[in-house]
Amino acid sequence: MDSIKTIAVTGKGGAGKTVLATLLIRWLAAKYPGEILAIDADSASSLPYTLGLQVKRTVSEVRRDLLGKQQAKDELNAAPTRNVMKKILTPGPGFDLLAMGRPEEPGCFCAVNELLRFGIDSLIKDYRLAVIDGEAGPEQLNRRVIKNIDVLLVVADMSARSLETAAGIIKVARSAEHGISVRRAGLIVNRVRGDEPLSDLVGKTGLNIFGSIPEDDLLNSFDRSNRPLLELPLDSPVPLAVKTILERALSDAAARSGVYGTIAIVPYGNTL
Ligand SMILES: Nc1ncnc2c1ncn2[C@@H]1O[C@H](COP(=O)(O)OP(=O)(O)O)[C@@H](O)[C@H]1O
Ligand SMILES: [Mg+2]
């Protein structure tokens, strides 16, 4: 298989998408410093906090300027999208962060999502790999914000509803009609406690498990004291679990064997 260029994280709200995305970014930035693009595509925007970064400018703000004063509008329209997006990147240790921010317009985020899509498309060439912390649910897949996904990690906690959402997302990713290309997708079960019958619960959804992450109180204490998850000790259970997931996601053999519940979906390049 060709090299992995995009890893997108999705799932129900609160399932652990940002935790997983943060730690994927951390491992990847250590492996390929300066070659990783982190994308906060969630309007609820928590990735900057877990990465310990202050974002100065977001895609939503660029969009607002485009709607605003004529001068700002003209300047933005004259510049190639790539340059505009490059300027709003926030540098982190070994990676750059592009943040969608909170759209002010109520209802549909279509316009901002579209600009985000242009941003991702124009920036991605400059990086080895992009990790996308997506919005909850399948909407961004539906709207093709992220068109070419090499690895889609669908996070669910141990609740039946979260697994249901995950199953729904994987269904969208599987159906070619949405015009997105997902090379592999896998279910990540989060907040697993030792005594839970994991396979029973997941088995009911018909999904296979790609990886799991244990429940760890250390995360709660980091959250409570507003400490970036980037500072979690690398030898603690959650970062170690994410390392295993990453190794599997990047491994060809695992994809071919199918033992980890990877689902080959739409053939690569099959986009509208
Ligand atoms: N494995 C875990 N152990 C303990 N707490 C967790 C774990 N995964 C997530 N959490 C906590 O659950 C909350 C939601 O996680 P988050 O990654 O922000 O979810 P999402 O991005 O899917 O909305 C956070 O407070 C986080 O610290
Ligand atoms: Mg989140």
Amino acid at 10: T
Among all ligands shown, which has an atom nearest to the Cα of 215?
1
Q: Shortest CA distance to 104 belongs to which of 163, 60, 143, 158?
A: 60
Whether residue 196 is contained in a domain is answered as yes
Whether residue 16 is contained in a domain is answered as yes
| Distance (Å, whole) CA 265 – CA 170 | 9
Whether residue 86 is contained in a domain is answered as yes
Alpha carbons within 13 A on the beta-carbon side of 211: 25
* Cβ–ligand 1 contact at 223 (below 6 Å): yes
Q: Name residues whose C-beta falls within 8 Å of residue 193's C-beta, 6 or more positions apart in sequence.
A: 158, 214, 215
Whether residue 79 is contained in a domain is answered as yes
Whether residue 52 is contained in a domain is answered as yes
| Distance (Å, whole) CA 249 – CA 69 | 45
In contact, 222 and 229? CB cutoff 8 Å: yes
Whether residue 239 is contained in a domain is answered as yes
Which range is least confidently modeled, 103-117, 120-134, 255-269? 255-269
Each residue's pLDDT tens digit, 165-206 = 888 888 887 776 666 778 888 899 999 987 766 677 777 676
* Cβ–ligand 1 contact at 13 (below 6 Å): yes
| Distance (Å, whole) CA 76 – CA 62 | 8
| Distance (Å, whole) CA 21 – CA 36 | 12
Each residue's pLDDT tens digit, 6-21 = 999 999 999 999 999 9
Mean pLDDT of the chain: 84
Distance between Cα 256 and ligand 2 center (Å): 30
| Distance (Å, whole) CA 177 – CA 154 | 20
What is the pLDDT at residue 272?
23
In contact, 251 and 211? CB cutoff 8 Å: no
Give the burial class of 108: count Cβ atoms within 10 A of its Cβ; 0-12 exposed, 13-18 middle, 19 or more buried. Answer: exposed
Of 49, 219, 229, 230, the residue with max ligand 1 atoms within 8 A of its CB, to mutate for a pocket test, comes to: 219
* Cβ–ligand 1 contact at 18 (below 6 Å): yes
Q: Shortest CA distance to 241 belongs to which of 33, 60, 23, 68?
A: 23
Position in ligand 1 atom list of the atom nearest CA 217 = 4
**If residue 38 lies in a helix (H) or strand (E), which one and from where to where?**
strand 36-40
* Cβ–ligand 1 contact at 179 (below 6 Å): no
Each residue's pLDDT tens digit, 12-62 = 999 999 999 999 999 999 999 999 999 999 988 899 999 999 999 999 998
pLDDT band at 115 (very low <50, low <70, confident <90, very high): confident
> Looking at residue 69, which CATH number applies to its domain?
3.40.50.300
Residue showing tokens 């004259």: 78
Distance between Cα 156 and ligand 2 center (Å): 12
Q: Shortest CA distance to 182 belongs to which of 234, 141, 219, 214?
A: 141
Which residue's CA lies nearest to atom 23 of ligand 1?
14
Whether residue 24 is contained in a domain is answered as yes
What is the pLDDT at residue 228?
96
In contact, 245 and 211? CB cutoff 8 Å: yes
Task: State the residue range of the domain holding 243.
Answer: 6-264
* Cβ–ligand 1 contact at 237 (below 6 Å): no
Whether residue 207 is contained in a domain is answered as yes
Distance between Cα 38 and ligand 2 center (Å): 13
Pairing of strands 90-92, 95-99: antiparallel
Position in ligand 1 atom list of the atom nearest CA 157 = 8
Which residue's CA lies nearest to atom 8 of ligand 1?
16
Provide the 8-state DSSP code for 44: T
Of 9, 12, 17, 19, the residue with max ligand 1 atoms within 8 A of its CB, to mutate for a pocket test, comes to: 19
* Cβ–ligand 1 contact at 159 (below 6 Å): no
Question: Per the structure, how many domains does the chain have?
Answer: 1
